[in-house]
Amino acid sequence: MSNQTTEWRRIVDRQHDQINQRTNVFLILNGLLLAAASATSLKFLPTVLSIFSAAINVFWLLLGEYSMKRYFYFYETLLESETEIDEQDRIYTQIQNTAPKGLIFGKFKLSSTDFLCTYLPGSMIILWLLVLLIIVIF
């Protein structure tokens, strides 16, 4: 196996790990902020936490988009580099050819990377805006 392919595999694996680590951090942070917003008796604190949390999740969404683009760029480059090695050593190519391509809802396809990088932060933004709306109404 070529050193270049090994290096691309390391880079792709690292990108995937970074996406998972960032998702874990943001989910824990959102859980803590949601608990803090619901546990306080101060009127202004849930409002401040909701605005802060929505802003944090916008950052998560932007970072997720960037991470997803980098991940897919490196993944495609890895697949191209695997064409230069023996067929039995093309692990990522075999995975690409045999693994499910994501959940399909009609014409809508959802991969786990898309979900972690865009749909989950987008859902959290909507959740925090709804919390803010409920706070303002009540």
Predicted confidence (pLDDT) per residue in 83-115, tens digit: 989 988 898 898 888 877 666 666 666 788 888
Structure tokens at 64: 């997720």
Instruction: Calculate mean pLDDT across residues 64-87.
Output: 93
pLDDT, averaged across the chain: 89
Given pLDDT bands bounded at 50, 70 and 90, which one contains residue 55?
A: very high
Closest by alpha carbon to 118, among 39, 73, 65? 65
Q: What is the pLDDT of residue 96?
A: 82
What is the pLDDT averaged over residues 112-133? 92
Query: What pLDDT does residue 113 have?
Result: 85
Question: What is the pLDDT, as a whole number, of residue 103?
Answer: 64
Spell out the long-range contacts of 68-75 with Cβ–Cβ below 8 A and sequence spacing 24 or more.
Answer: 68/19, 68/113, 68/114, 68/117, 68/118, 70/15, 71/12, 71/15, 71/16, 71/19, 71/113, 72/113, 74/8, 74/11, 74/12, 74/15, 75/12, 75/15
Instruction: Of 81, 76, 113, give the one whose Cα is nearest residue 96.
Output: 76
